[in-house]
Amino acid sequence: MERPKWFRAARTVVLLAAALLLCMPGVREYRLKAVSAGDAADGMMQDAPDSVTDGITSDAPDSMADGKRIALTFDDGPHPYCTEQLLDGLKERNAKATFFVLGQQAEQYPELIKRMSEEGHLIGNHTYSHLQLRQDNREKFKEELIKTNELLEQLTGQEIQYVRPPYGTWDKRFEKELNMFPVLWTIDPLDWSSSNVAGIVKKVEDQAKENAIILMHDEYDTTVTAALQIVDGLKEQGYEFVTVDELLFD
């Protein structure tokens, strides 16, 4: 059901306010840095690859969240095998997740995008080709966001408002230009670099707390196994797995 215009306007105001209120003690200190004085004035910011940045994180005011909630997020999919197995496991466990998908992958596997949407997961934009924003490719980056949004909206019938920029590079002007907002993370188990399922699970469980956002990648068998073990373990501790918008607005 399409939400009224007043709700969307209010949501935009709240998102911008949340971005200004962010403070993440104890999280890896990969903060955004201006590429140059000129870029800082223009709003373009850059950071280390795949790191925590000044976008929307789980440290929104407590009043914006209700209960012991946590968000599981996945980048770089959908993958024809791993994403399907992950969706099966999440459905069996009644757990919701957020998928930041690549446009080129969505184009190849549209049935998985439709399934994500139908089963209540949130879908976000991760650009079309995993393009990193640089000083000389802003328009191309913007075109990839728009192209991916159009594809995802055609497949799901829903407006796409959330983005996870590859390599942590973002230009805040896009928030007004495209009505899109960056969603980042507070827990990064580096699942892409390890085949040690137990190690991935331990990293997440050791850092888990209410309103945390977990970063994973749904293109590895080990990630699928670890993610489902994480769901099982944290559910036993009383956590509910929700989409990132629920952390902010419910």
Burial class for 13, CB neighbours closer than 10 Å (0-12, 13-18, 19+): exposed
List the catalytic residue out of 50, 75, 171, 188. 75
Task: Quote the CA–CA distance of 107 and 230 in Å, as a whole number.
Answer: 29
Average pLDDT, the chain: 81
- pTM greater than 0.85: no
Cβ-Cβ contacts under 8 Å for 222 (sequence gap 6 or more): 191, 194, 195, 196, 197, 200
Q: 13 versus 194: which is more confidently predicted?
A: 194
pLDDT digits (tens, 9 = 90+) for 128-159: 999 999 999 999 999 999 999 999 999 999 99
77 pLDDT tier (thresholds 50, 70, 90) = very high
Q: Is 250 helix (H, G, I), strand (E, B) or coil?
A: coil
Domain residue extents for the chain: 5-249
Among residues 214, 221, 223, 217, the alpha carbon closest in space to that of 247 is found at 214
Percent of the chain scoring above 70 in pLDDT: 73
Specify whether 75 is catalytic.
yes
Q: Is 81 helix (H, G, I), strand (E, B) or coil?
A: coil
Output DSSP code: residue 183.
Answer: B
Q: Which of 55-64, 129-138, 208-217 has the lowest mean pLDDT?
A: 55-64
Q: Is 83 helix (H, G, I), strand (E, B) or coil?
A: helix
Predicted confidence at residue 19, as pLDDT, reads 39
Among residues 1, 8, 22, 11, the alpha carbon closest in space to that of 249 is found at 11
Specify whether 130 is catalytic.
no
Q: What is the CATH number of domain 5-249?
A: 3.20.20.370
How large is the average pLDDT for residues 64-84? 87
Predicted confidence at residue 14, as pLDDT, reads 41
Among residues 224, 230, 190, the alpha carbon closest in space to that of 208 is found at 230
The token pair at 39 is 């870029």
167 pLDDT tier (thresholds 50, 70, 90) = confident
Among residues 6, 19, 64, the alpha carbon closest in space to that of 175 is found at 19
List the catalytic residue out of 79, 121, 126, 217. 217
Predicted confidence at residue 44, as pLDDT, reads 52
